[in-house]
């Protein structure tokens, strides 16, 4: 935790009570600068700025204290950046949101510069300092959150520039934090190198490695579901489960993201991080507590038990038209689709295939976990049976979990039919708004909470 000052937030207009209940009422004061590096890109417009806007609307970003800076090489003005992101933030026909939007956009300033030049980062530092001097400094401390919405290849130079030019200089405490995105490098060697490069520049408590799938409501629910429900405990193993499928599909392609995506491909973009995190939560043993290090330890054991993948159990593909994207090289061989089978060599999972599948530009958008159960032994309904038991957790869209089971078809005859026990969040929790993953995660980083960090860098310590 940084040494910033803390106080009890009293202004109810700057918070949402239900979320404040979750996070406690203790908030830090002092000038807050949120710097989005790679502000011209896809992540920034689709997820980072919208999450910041939602936090702002809900009162978690105090307009008297916060300022948001975008930084990237693309030469655009403040107004051009605002226009690029505006459409992703809100339905402008909603009058209440439109008013908040206008105020929020005025908090955003854009600085253009390269990722490896002191000159650019000195310019950025001057802009942040000006804001701090105008807003802060007589009371409270300065907080600087640097969000790297950038390809990992530029993390080392960007981190070096932040360390050299842009650290918080407040005499009154405060902090500087760095948020890094997945994928954390390209392979083991580059991940370890990245870890040591960033580790030389910042304390571990300053670094936040984000995997936003961990912030999704139904991913968060996995631990509760598995370990707070007695009836799952005896079933969750190789004796009862035939296979586990973890699937991500998107109905749009890379669309101008070739600068990042083409160097990494779908395995590093989705499977190695998002789907593996989900796999760990499905497969791990019960941690001894909910402390992040205890959860991490159990995840690491799962990963250590995964046997090397066989070539014949991997299928790769590239969607037609991928190379038409002007940001993608004409000769690109980068996969946009991959499916693979992971096998976990331990007492619980020996023999159960974990089928991981991810693809872009497919016919629908969906992310789900599908647990297929074995057939009933000595089944006396075999001739009529509709299908096996399945437990499905749909992460998106329309969060839901449902259990497929065989029941008697209502009526005079003894016929069976497949039906569902269905917990669709939209119906069951009407009126409850489910926060976007990035809202939770950015709020966590502002609060200095590490429980949802990705922990990839820490596995090395085992
Ligand atoms: P983009 O391709 O949109 O890249 C973001 C910005 O980085 C670009 O606008 C560009 O800015 C700069 N950039 C792109 N390629 C390079 C390069 N080769 N060298 C230096 N700078 C470059 O990618 P995304 O925004 O989609 O992804 C950025 C990071 O966010 C990735 O690590 C990705 O895994 C992660 N992420 C993305 C999500 C998404 O929905 N897009 C969701 C979750 C995570 P400029 O040229 O102006 O400097
Ligand atoms: C990101 C990937 O990590 O996740 C993108 O880089 C992908 O390629 C995105 O589009 C999907 O996130 P979500 O939350 O929309 O499923």
DSSP-assigned letters across all residues of 373-434: EPPPTT-TTGGG-----EEEEEEESS-EEEEEEEEEPSSSS--EEEEEEEEEHHHHTTTPPP
Q: Which two tokens stand for residue 3?
A: 């040494």
- In the set 67, 131, 212, 274, the catalytic residue is 274
Mutate to test the pocket of ligand 2, among 50, 256, 274 (most ligand atoms within 8 A of CB): 274
Give the binding-site residues of ligand 1, using a 6 Å CB cut-off.
38, 40-43, 46-47, 72-74, 115, 149-152, 154, 181-183, 212, 257, 259-260, 269
ipTM of the complex: 0.98
Is 294 marked active-site? no
Q: What is the pLDDT along the chain (462 residues), one digit of tens a residue?
A: 333 333 222 233 444 344 344 444 445 678 999 999 999 999 999 999 999 999 999 999 989 899 999 999 999 999 999 999 999 997 666 777 888 899 999 999 999 999 999 999 999 999 999 988 887 555 557 899 999 999 999 999 999 999 999 998 877 778 999 999 999 999 999 999 999 999 999 999 999 999 999 999 999 999 999 999 999 999 999 999 999 999 999 999 998 899 899 999 999 999 999 999 999 999 999 999 999 899 999 999 999 999 999 999 999 999 999 999 999 999 999 999 999 999 999 999 999 999 999 999 999 999 999 999 999 888 888 777 678 899 999 999 999 999 999 999 999 998 899 999 999 999 999 988 888 999 999 999 998 876 444 433 223 333
User: How far is 440 from 419, CA to CA, in rounded Å?
Assistant: 35
CB atoms within 10 A of CB 441: 24
């Amino acid at each position: 935790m940084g040494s910033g000052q803390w106080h009890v937030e009293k202004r109810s207009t700057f918070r949402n009570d239900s979320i404040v209940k979750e996070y406690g009422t203790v908030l830090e004061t002092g000038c807050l600068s949120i710097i989005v590096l790679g502000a011209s890109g896809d992540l920034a417009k689709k997820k980072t700025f919208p999450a910041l806007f939602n936090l702002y609307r809900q009162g978690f970003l105090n307009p008297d204290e916060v300022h948001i800076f975008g930084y990237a090489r693309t030469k655009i003005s403040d107004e051009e950046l605002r226009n690029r992101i505006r459409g992703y933030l809100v339905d402008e026909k909603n009058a209440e949101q439109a008013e908040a939007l206008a105020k929020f956009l005025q908090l955003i300033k854009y600085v253009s510069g390269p990722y490896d030049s002191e000159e650019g980062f000195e310019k950025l530092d001057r802009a942040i300092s000006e804001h701090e001097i105008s807003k802060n400094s007589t009371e409270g401390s300065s907080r600087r959150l640097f969000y790297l919405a950038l390809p990992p290849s530029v993390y080392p130079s960007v981190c070096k520039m932040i360390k050299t030019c842009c650290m918080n200089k407040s005499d009154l405490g405060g902090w500087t934090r760095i948020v890094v995105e997945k994928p954390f490098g390209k392979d083991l060697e580059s991940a370890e190198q990245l870890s040591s490069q960033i580790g030389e520049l910042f304390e571990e408590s300053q670094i936040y490695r984000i995997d936003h799938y961990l912030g999704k409501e139904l991913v968060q629910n996995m631990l509760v579901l598995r370990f707070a429900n007695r009836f799952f405990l005896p079933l969750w193993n190789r004796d009862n489960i035939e296979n586990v499928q973890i699937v991500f599909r998107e109905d749009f392609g890379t669309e101008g993201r070739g600068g990042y995506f083409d160097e990494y491909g779908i395995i590093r973009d989705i499977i190695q991080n998002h789907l593996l995190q989900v796999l760990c939560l499905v497969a791990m043993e019960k941690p001894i507590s909910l402390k992040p290090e205890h959860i991490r330890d159990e995840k690491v054991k799962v990963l250590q038990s995964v046997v090397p993948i066989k070539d014949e159990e991997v299928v790769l593909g590239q969607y037609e038209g991928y190379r038409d994207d002007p940001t993608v090289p004409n000769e690109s061989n980068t996969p946009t689709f991959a499916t693979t089978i992971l096998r976990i060599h331990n007492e619980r999972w020996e023999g159960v295939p974990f089928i991981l599948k991810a693809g872009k530009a497919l016919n629908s958008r969906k992310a789900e976990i599908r647990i297929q159960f074995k057939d009933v032994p000595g089944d006396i309904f075999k001739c009529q049976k509709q299908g096996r038991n399945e437990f499905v957790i749909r992460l998106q869209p329309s969060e839901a979990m449902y259990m497929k089971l065989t029941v008697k078809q209502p009526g005079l005859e003894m016929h069976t039919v497949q039906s569902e026990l269905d917990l669709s969040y939209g119906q069951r929790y009407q009126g409850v708004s489910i926060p976007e993953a990035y809202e939770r995660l950015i709020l966590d980083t502002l609060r200095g909470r590490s429980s949802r960090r990705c922990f990839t860098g820490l596995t090395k310590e085992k």
